[in-house]
Amino acid sequence: MNASVGNGLDVGVLLDELYQGGVNAAISWSRDGRIEVRLGDTRGGYDAETKLDSFAEAAAWLREKALLHYPHSRFSRRHAAFHHRTYDCHRPDGDTSAHWPEIELLDLGHLLTRQAPITEIAKFLHRSPDEVRDKLAALGRVCTQ
């Protein structure tokens, strides 16, 4: 099942990394020809689930939801460290409040559309909740001008 999909994720590798990282996930076909994707399990309950049209979408969805719902898992620590490595090089002298790279702003927007709490957003972005609130206030001022 090691098939690379359009976005560069290898579905088999991703599923193995989720399993090794302590995250339960499931992919199955539904009668309507779509792919059912679930994060969690029947015993503990599902934290997120959806139907998608391709393995590429399923792999991307699983990765994104695992990072969002299980920020302290081995999977998230491994992937978040890689994901945020580029952020740190843009921060002069470790000052996280001065600069928000474009990818962090995109992540902020995605997390907001999923109604993630400020504390969860801050953890994901490796910022303090106050920094996130300040950025949201600044963006709000820019958008209303």
Q: What is the pLDDT of residues 77-119, one digit of tens each?
A: 777 655 544 344 444 444 445 678 776 777 788 788 878 889 9
Cβ atoms of 19 and 41 within 8 Å: the answer is no
Cβ atoms of 122 and 132 within 8 Å: the answer is yes
**Cα 52 from Cα 105, distance rounded (Å):** 26
pLDDT along the chain (145 residues), means of 10: 51 88 90 90 89 86 87 81 44 54 76 85 87 89 60
pTM beyond 0.75: no
Percent of the chain with pLDDT over 70: 77
Q: Which two three-digit tokens encode residue 88?
A: 């740190």
